[in-house]
Structure 1
Amino acid sequence: MSVLTGVLYAALVAYLGGWYAGRWNGNFALLLFVLTAVTLFYWLAERFHFAPARRAAAQALVDNDAKRRETLAAQGIARVDGDVEPARQQILQQPWWLDWTAGLFPVILVVFLLRSFLFEPFKIPSGSMVPTLLVGDLILVNKFHYGIRLPVINKKIIPNNDVKRGDVMVFRYPEDPSTDFIKRVAGIPGDEISYVNQKLYINGQLATTQPLGKFYDDSGSPRVYRPRFLEKLGDKEHEILVQPDAQTFFRADRADGPFPFQENCRYTVEGVTCKVPAGHYFMLGDNRDNSRDSRYWGFVPDENIVGKAFLVWMNFGNLKRIGTFFN
């Protein structure tokens, strides 16, 4: 078993090393599930086989020593050298390969349950959600807000709250489901979403905005001051950035070809209009001119939802961000 455990640890190190080096995309949820299953196997083996066997061997050592002492006492030898206690403790000691597998099971199980069903940490990698979220923000994602899902396969088994316009949602990127993205929900099933001449329309109604002055956006290159606005989606208000001189001509550019339900979208020189299909959502970044989102790659299916983001718990470059709640 020690050899098998060594091989498993070598495989784990190789997998993590390749992931870190960019040789392949890792799947942390699957890795955590496998680690939980493997350490559970070792924990059960320790509880019901290895530990009882060690206790039996230790007891046999004590019993044999007692019989030896009784035999010698019957022969008139009262003083017997030797103490079996150190040997007994050595027999009872858990070997390294059980200590580093079965011993880790409770910790890994707690992490697996917390991450799968309650909260998952997420790091903001880009400036697409500025000014709501900054590059380097470490946020928490509520995994049960939209319903309980089975880990790894992400199948919803218990529904909870409906997705609402304005929610900040983490989801599996439709072009590469191994990558998590974060954007704001602009359209829910049945909505007609138009982003025309840098203005957002929902079912023909212009989303209300009001100017808030300038915001220094240092998330990209060049670093510039961008006009900042307060936008309202549904009953939620949030800040967005729009640069009037950065008019973009949108086009469907999903890497693997036309996106599902692309026929629901119309692209013109002024912008894009899409009818959101059932079970899907239209996502936008708050940094409207620095976000590749549903305007380019289409809709997010319900099965890709990870959870609702709600809290910045750390930013090592800006400690004032800690504890920031957001819509």
Structure 2
Amino acid sequence: MILSAQTPRQPGYRGRFAPSPSGPLHFGSLLAAVGSYLDAKAHRGQWLVRIEDIDPPREVAGASDQILRALEAFGLHWDESVRYQSHRLDDFQQIINELLSTQAAYFCDCTRKRIKSVGGIYDGYCRNRHLPGEHCAVRYRYDNAITHFDDLRLGRQTSIAAQDFVIKRRDGLIAYQLAVVADDIDQGINHIVRGVDLLETTSSQLELYRQFDHSPPQYLHLPLAVDQHGHKLSKQNHAPAIDWQQPQQQLWQALNYLALAPPMALQHESVTDQLDWAIEQWDRQQLPQDNQVLT
């Protein structure tokens, strides 16, 4: 497997923030960026940025540059060159080819309508059909279900029902599950701090780590910022972009949402001073247990 040939990196914390360029950063994504940055720096680790630009129909022109400029304005400086997933398409395809050649993956032409008709959980219908691949997705054969895993904030988590999942879509685009694990392995990421909305993807990703014979990272899923109806702030829900030209107050607000209880006077300090203070105060055990309503 191509991933097994990677040169081991020096031990130490390596974390990352990996936004998709489907629009500018909003407050919810700022929380994920700040939380992942603080956890890395509080543990004297490295913090990387990766732009996950492998879904062109959802991408917004100029969003990648806007995201990077916003991170810099908030003092969130990355330790290595920014990676763009779109530059790795050939590597992803090689991994998929190897999975297909070992029968760890297979072609599938099932539609969403068919999957919905059998209860919404994919039933393995195409596993033994030996389809030629034209107009098909590629599914990973999930034979070794991950039953549980441990999260650094939430503790022991029981996995949802396992099903063969898509690693390449019918439209030819590489699926998130495959790309995120392949890049995290290639970049030596060993700590992943992200929003709790991605919690359900973890068991599938852990299965890919097992398949690729790599130790999985430690996961910490942060609480979300939600509106008064309990809906998460997201680009799909039209969350407003953060004002990265006046970042001090919004950074202070993010620190407050992460339960760091920053003093009022700190919101008037520079973002560098705010982050330095927050790194000293960071404590995973003090993170909120529930999603926080944005007021």
TM-score, length basis structure 2? 0.25
Bigger Rg, which one: 1
Q: Which has the higher helix share?
A: 2
Greater RCO (Cα-Cα under 8 Å, separation 6 or more):
2
Q: Which has the higher strand share?
A: 1
